[in-house]
């Protein structure tokens, strides 16, 4: 039989064991409860973040800010929410606050690519081209798989007139990203800036293979037109809606293609709506003159030239064309008047010199 002290010790140890087991069970219960609460907070945060994103896309900045504040309260360490917060701040015109927030994200090393990309956009808004380029290049280094980072850097190079460096940068990433339409579009814009219109048209064609966007198709048609590939340009431009814009740029480009293809009747049909809206539209009048001259309607061409010169009296190309057409029609006095006016704006014009020399020879012979 155990002594009383031994019995007391046994009971005490048994009670302590029960107490420890109870504490451990309570600790596990608390941990499970905390973990469940954390998971619930994350679910709620994701829901709030989704609502904030939808409000942001819809342009409802105040509502987006409310939802985002709640999402960040529930998940304060989420870097993606900080980046979204920066987007809201930018939309609210608080660019400096957005910049400071994004710089913290970059310093922490999470979502660095996206934060650098947005910092580049902010630098562009400040016309800080060097800063923008450095941020975009950093974004490329952090995430070279995102074509938006690459094309943003190329756009900065285009803005500072360095298309050659833009092409070089694209070349470094062609293997990974060259299949994407945005890549080809950036290359096409570089070629356009360099005046390499045939290369630009090729790039736009490659972009269209995977994205038959109307804007890209328009850029292709205009590149072909500038490359003087009249037939191909006409085929592309004819498929586009010509619209009723005041400038009528697509109509003018297509009309010139048709004139060069000796399809003057179709060209005039395109030009007439522009001239009805604006009878002194210089671009349309120029092309109308070209169509009339190519068709041999020289008297009509002279009338159109006079009409165009009324709005642009010092236009050298119109004066030169007027002098040449008048001379061909034996309208010598008119040819001389145009030639004299042409000398004032273009002293080295060979047509003006030839017409005036011919007129002088005739005068000498008559004397």
Residue 99 has pLDDT above 50, yes or no: yes
Q: Which residues contact 316 (CB under 8 A, 6 or more apart)?
A: 342, 345, 346, 349
Q: Residues 284-313: what's their mean pLDDT?
A: 94
Average pLDDT value over all residues in the chain: 82
- Three-class SS state of 75: coil
Q: What is the pLDDT of residue 52?
A: 44
Q: In this predicted model, which residue has the larger pLDDT, 367 or 128?
A: 128
Q: What is the pLDDT of residue 302?
A: 95
Q: What is the pLDDT of residue 44?
A: 45
Q: How far apart are CA 19 and CA 21, in angstroms?
A: 5
Question: Mind listing the pLDDT tens digit for each residue in 147-158?
Answer: 999 999 999 999
**Domain residue spans in the chain?**
314-367
Q: What is the pTM of this model?
A: 0.75
Q: Residues 172-191: what's their mean pLDDT?
A: 95
Q: Is 128 left (phi over 0), alpha (psi -120 to 50) or beta?
A: beta
Q: Residues 232-256: what's their mean pLDDT?
A: 84
**How far is CA 77 from each of CA 39, 73, 74, 83, rounded to the nearest angstrom?**
14, 9, 9, 12
pLDDT confidence tier of residue 174, bands split at 50, 70 and 90: very high
Q: In this predicted model, which residue has the larger pLDDT, 241 or 199?
A: 199
Q: Residues 304-310: what's their mean pLDDT?
A: 94
Residue 289 has pLDDT above 90, yes or no: yes
Q: How far apart are CA 281 and CA 279, in angstroms?
A: 6
Q: In this predicted model, which residue has the larger pLDDT, 61 or 177?
A: 177
Q: Residues 231-245: what's their mean pLDDT?
A: 84
Question: Mind listing the pLDDT tens digit for each residue in 42-88?
Answer: 444 444 444 445 455 555 555 556 656 665 665 566 667 777 778 87
Q: Which residues contact 39 (CB under 8 A, 6 or more apart)?
A: none
Q: Residues 27-38: what's their mean pLDDT?
A: 51
Residue 120 has pLDDT above 60, yes or no: yes
């Amino acid at each position: 039989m155990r002594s009383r002290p031994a019995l007391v010790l046994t009971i005490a140890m048994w009670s302590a064991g029960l107490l420890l087991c109870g504490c451990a069970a309570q600790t596990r219960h608390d941990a499970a409860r905390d973990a469940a609460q954390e998971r619930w907070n994350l679910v709620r945060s994701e829901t709030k973040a989704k609502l904030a994103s939808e409000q942001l896309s819809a342009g409802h900045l105040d509502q987006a800010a409310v939802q985002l504040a709640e999402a960040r309260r529930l998940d304060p360490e989420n870097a993606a929410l900080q980046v979204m917060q920066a987007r809201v701040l930018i939309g609210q015109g608080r660019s400096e606050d957005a910049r400071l927030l994004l710089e913290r994200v970059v310093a922490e090393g999470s979502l660095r690519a996206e934060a650098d990309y947005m910092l580049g956009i902010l630098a562009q808004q400040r016309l800080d081209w060097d800063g923008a380029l450095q941020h975009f290049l950093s974004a490329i280094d952090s995430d070279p798989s995102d074509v938006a980072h690459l094309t943003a850097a190329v756009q900065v190079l285009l803005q500072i007139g360095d298309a050659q460096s833009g092409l070089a940068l694209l070349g470094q990433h062609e293997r990974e990203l060259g299949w994407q339409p945005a890549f080809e579009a950036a290359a096409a814009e570089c070629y356009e800036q360099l005046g390499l219109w045939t290369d630009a048209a090729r790039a736009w064609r490659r972009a269209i293979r995977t994205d038959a966007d109307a804007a890209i198709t328009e850029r292709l048609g205009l590149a072909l037109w500038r490359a003087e590939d009249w037939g191909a340009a006409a085929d592309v431009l004819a498929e586009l809606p010509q619209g009723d814009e005041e400038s009528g740029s697509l109509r003018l480009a297509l009309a010139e293609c048709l004139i060069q293809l000796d399809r003057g009747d179709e060209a005039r049909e395109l030009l007439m709506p522009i001239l009805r809206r604006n009878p002194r539209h210089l671009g349309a009048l120029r092309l109308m003159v070209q169509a009339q001259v190519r068709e041999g309607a020289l008297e009509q061409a002279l009338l159109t030239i006079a009409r165009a010169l009324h709005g642009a009296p010092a236009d050298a190309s119109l004066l030169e064309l007027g002098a040449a057409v008048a001379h061909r029609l034996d309208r010598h006095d008119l040819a001389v008047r145009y030639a004299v006016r042409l000398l004032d704006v273009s002293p080295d014009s060979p047509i003006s010199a030839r017409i005036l020399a011919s007129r002088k020879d005739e005068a000498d012979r008559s004397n």
